Structure 1
Amino acid sequence: MNRLIVLLGLIVCQACAQKPWHGNLDYLGKLPNKLNEVSGIVALKDRSLWVIEDNGNKDKLYQINLKGNLVREVKVENGKNHDWEDITKDRYDNIYIGDFGNNANDRKNLTILKIDKKQGFEDGKVSAKKIKFEYPEQEEFPPKKKNLHFDCEAFFHHGNSLYVITKNRARPYTGKAFIYKIPDTPGSYKAKLVGDFKTCTDSQFCSITGADISPDGKKIALLGSGFIWLYTDFSFDDFTQGKLKVIDVEYRTQQESICFLDNQTLLIADEQSKTKGRNLYRFKLPQNSE
């Protein structure tokens, strides 16, 4: 009897010692408590990582390391966080924050904040220049339920432009996303519609929540909650005419942030949701993903 108890105890201990399952994602670390709602992540050339949070959170950039630990906080002095939903960079490491979250499709103050890398982050504060834009196709604020196409949580930089990918909130849900092009210089613009595509028709997983382009410009990764849409062999402006590979990471959380660390490595962060999330992950692209 005593041997049986000991054996059962060993089995229980072994089960407790097993690592949590994260599907095909490699767990790197837990983000700090103050970063419950990370909505965007970017890796600069020096491999420093910067994240932001969305609506209701502070007007700050947060630097983290590859274990998810907080390194520093930087205040964006003139860039109120109405709904920051993604962050990207250009080839000079200037940072762009997408203040274009628009759940109700009723905003008229859509803005991208441009932060000049030359400012540095040592003072704990930066200022931003503003790129204001509107969707010419939107005529009502908000539009009818079937036309709720003007939310956004994803963009990336290429050339001298920012490519914004919308988040579908239409009812009934169609999975359709639109691609808009906006100049990367401060000013006010009408975004140019350059393409559209369908992901899938499950509203829980098929909406685009993040995006990035690889350092060599040969891959574009779009994120959903558990899926990556990877484009290669494309040309601009409508990159969706290229080759598409849909990757199921086999882990379902509120994944809203993605960036390339290098040409074959993606970093993904998710938001806290009940007992899951608030983690930093790595995903290695298959070698045949060219």
Structure 2
Amino acid sequence: MKKLIYCCLIFFLTGCSNYGQLTFVAKLPKAIKENSGIAYFQGNKAWFIEDHGNKDEIYQIDFNGKILKELKIKHAKNNDWEDLAQDPNGNIYIADIGNNNNKRKDLIIYKISNPEKEKGDKIEAEEIKFYYPEQKEFPPKKSNLNFDAEALFFWNDYLYIITKNRSEPFSGKALIYKVPSKKGTYKAQLVGDFTPCTTDHLCQVTSAAISPDGKKIVLLGYGFLWIFSEFNTDNFTTGKLTTIDLGATTQLESVCFKDNNTLLISDEERANTGRNLYSFSIN
């Protein structure tokens, strides 16, 4: 009976969630219940964005769940911000690449300087515009709905975009594109593809990150991690793949590296679940 009561208490306190292998860090503020991207610099704090229809802002939040700073991105619009990436110089890239219906022709990535150094409440952004040359119809047929994307990371002066498969019937295949990490308008270059698995929803890629030493690339899904190592080409999927079932049942939406072996992961709020920050070791 005591065990049952304990389990019920945990069930209530965690919002009817199953965190699986994830370690709970903090409950995130209600202001970012639809958080979709995360970036880490130092200390017990990180930067977050929200997705479709929310404010054109980036938020610094500590590991107690308190908002420390809000920065408005000047001359930017949150059509569907889906991920954050950062480069070794501290620049942040905001991926306005959400494209649920595969209809968009205005895909863009906003580049801002290190937000931790900004003293005001607004920050300038450069625009990196791009398109997928393989997409000929807007939208394409249901069997080719593979031009939505929620995952972005920086590597060797390029930004890598991993698409989120919405095809019917579901094939699971994600396309991997790259574009230069500087202001301009580009034709995205297809460098490879990856089929994590073929179970609808569970096998969609929702975020991506690369370790500070550049030796590991992580793709996040709804309960899974796909970790690539031992790669040496643009098509990192030719490297070693490790698949981890996190055992989590919440809507996991963003991942970044805290150090070479520790991940920060967050989820959106759905009903009584989510809106949390977690950590996970990949030693």
TM-score strictly above 0.5: yes
TM-score by length of 1: 0.92
Equivalent residue for 2:239? 242
TM-score by length of 2: 0.94
Distance between the aligned counterparts of 2:132 and 2:114, measured in 1?
28
Matched, 1:209 2:206: yes
Bigger-Rg structure (1/2): 1
- Cα pair 2:19 2:250 within 8 Å, conserved: no
Distance between the aligned counterparts of 2:168 and 2:5, measured in 1?
48
Distance between the aligned counterparts of 1:223 and 1:144, measured in 2?
26
Tell me the secondary structure at the aligned position of residue 81 of structure 2: coil
Q: What is the total number of aligned residue pairs between the two structures?
A: 278
Equivalent residue for 2:147? 150
Could you list the per-position Cα deviations for residues 127-183 of structure 1 after superposition, in whole angstroms to 9, with x for gaps in the alignment?
100000000000001111011110000010011100100000110000000100100
Judged with a 3 Å threshold, the aligned counterparts in structure 2 of structure 1 residues 122 and 207 are, in CA distance, closer, same or farther, namely same
Equivalent residue for 2:279? 282
Matched, 1:108 2:99: no
- Cα pair 1:163 1:181 within 8 Å, conserved: yes
Deviation at 1:56?
A: 1.1
Judged with a 3 Å threshold, the aligned counterparts in structure 2 of structure 1 residues 15 and 86 are, in CA distance, closer, same or farther, namely closer
Distance between the aligned counterparts of 1:13 and 1:180, measured in 2?
50
Matched, 1:72 2:69: yes
Higher relative contact order (CA 8 A, sep 6+): 2
1:259 pairs with one of 244, 253, 256:
256
Equivalent residue for 2:118? 121
Tell me the secondary structure at the aligned position of residue 255 of structure 2: strand
What is the root-mean-square deviation of aligned Cα atoms in Å?
A: 1.7
Deviation at 1:117?
A: 2.3
Equivalent residue for 2:58? 61
Deviation at 1:242?
A: 0.2
Equivalent residue for 1:4? none
In structure 2, the gaps of 5 or more residues are none
Could you list the per-position Cα deviations for residues 12-54 of structure 1 after superposition, in whole angstroms to 9, with x for gaps in the alignment?
7645554745210000010011111010101125664100000
One-letter amino acid of the counterpart of residue 87, structure 2: D
Could you list the per-position Cα deviations for residues 204-261 of structure 1 after superposition, in whole angstroms to 9, with x for gaps in the alignment?
2110000000000000000001000000001120000000000011011110100000
Deviation at 1:188?
A: 0.3
Judged with a 3 Å threshold, the aligned counterparts in structure 2 of structure 1 residues 166 and 123 are, in CA distance, closer, same or farther, namely same
- Output aligned runs, 1:191-206, within 5 Å: 191-206=188-203
Equivalent residue for 1:5? none
Equivalent residue for 2:34? 37
